[in-house]
Structure 1
Amino acid sequence: MKVTVINTGGTFNKRYNPITGQLDVASDNISINKIIASCPNVEFEIKNIVSKDSLDMTEEDREEICEAIKITKNDKVIIIHGTDTIHLTSQLIKEKKLEKQIVFTAAMIPMSIDEMEATMNFSLALGFLSANNKNGTYIAMHGVVADYSKLIKNKELGQFLIQE
């Protein structure tokens, strides 16, 4: 199986900066590389673009993500994205009718602090793609993969929940 991973930043990729004392969005693929090292049966193409917290994303950033999806030859795409505006980017992709299997995933806790959530969410997205589901835009978070319009971040609980 061939999968394109579009890494746009978000909490998934944040790391502690000892100089500023803040969590910065890394512009590398260290987090993803740790996960995919255990996936010998998958051929990955990794595109590292935007590298921002999703709260800082602009419409131009979202257009760049859409363009990266358009130009990839793979029909299976995982997008690492921040949780706060994942709904805006996924909505734009749906509006642009990018007909591929596109699965967004993210983490509420940086992988550099606790690897469990990011690894689980990425693995969930990858497993979904390996099942050859129909083309569409999905979100893989907290043990569920659903259409992007049905898996919503509940900010009071700090979890993604299915909304019917």
Structure 2
Amino acid sequence: MADILILTTGGTIDKVYFDALSEFQVGDTMVTRLMEIGLVKHDVRVQEICRKDSLELDDNDRAALRHAIESAPESRIVITHGTDTMTDTAAVLKDIPGKTVCMLGALSPARFAESDATFNLGMAFGVVQSAAPGIWIAMNGTVFDASKVRKDRSIGAFVSI
């Protein structure tokens, strides 16, 4: 059993340029590379659930994510997820007992030099090692109770509600 399970779903954190029109497409996960850059020494298991923009996630994707968490031997779980529907997915996961889960995303792709992805991933690692069981979100330098947060598009940040 790994110390921490990382489940990936896609989202902006894993986006790449797709064509000359500067359109994006979700690519391979950047999690492994970000952990290398961060010199992470934990035993980590990475599992891809899907590779989608969060606006494209559906009930089946969320059910697969929930099943992966419930059946995982690990009790500390990090989830990479698009920011637009992160709180919707968190609501589906809220009553899973005995697991400390932290979701994170990025407001710009991890492949960009000035992305928030690395910082958010580092925060999520800290959360799953220190927070009580439950669903948490690490974004914008803040740890949020996933049931008490929303994305405020007007300021490009997550805020407490």
Which of 147, 152, 158 aligns to 1:154? It is 152
Matched, 1:25 2:26: yes
Q: Deviations over 1:25-59 (max 9, x none)?
A: 11x23x11121113443111000121100000110
* Identity score, percent: 29
Match of 1:80 in 2: 80
Q: Which runs of 5+ in 1 are unaligned?
A: none
Offset of 1:19 from its aligned partner? 6.7
Offset of 1:69 from its aligned partner? 0.7
Q: Which amino acid aligns with 1:144?
A: T
Matched, 1:7 2:5: no
Moved more, 106-115 or 52-61: 106-115
Offset of 1:65 from its aligned partner? 0.6
Q: Which amino acid aligns with 1:94?
A: K
Match of 2:55 in 1: 55
Secondary structure of the residue that 2:135 maps to in structure 1? strand
Q: Which runs of 5+ in 2 are unaligned?
A: none
Moved more, 14-23 or 4-13: 14-23
Q: Deviations over 1:59-115 (max 9, x none)?
A: 0110011011112111000000000101111000014x3430000000011112235
Shift of the 99–143 alpha-carbon distance from structure 1 to 2, 3 Å rule, reads: same
Partner Cα separation in structure 2 for residue 80 and residue 115 of structure 1? 18
In the superposition, the TM-score normalised over structure 2's length comes to 0.91
Shift of the 63–34 alpha-carbon distance from structure 1 to 2, 3 Å rule, reads: same
Contact 1:10 1:106 in 2 (8 A): yes
Partner Cα separation in structure 2 for residue 15 and residue 68 of structure 1? 26
Partner Cα separation in structure 2 for residue 77 and residue 151 of structure 1? 19
Partner Cα separation in structure 2 for residue 135 and residue 151 of structure 1? 17
Partner Cα separation in structure 2 for residue 66 and residue 101 of structure 1? 13
Partner Cα separation in structure 2 for residue 118 and residue 40 of structure 1? 15
Secondary structure of the residue that 1:88 maps to in structure 2? helix
Over aligned residues, Cα RMSD in angstroms? 1.7
Kindly tell me the number of residue pairs found equivalent between the two proteins.
Answer: 159
| Structure 1 runs of 4+ with >3 Å offset | 18-21
Secondary structure of the residue that 2:147 maps to in structure 1? coil
Partner Cα separation in structure 1 for residue 52 and residue 62 of structure 2? 11
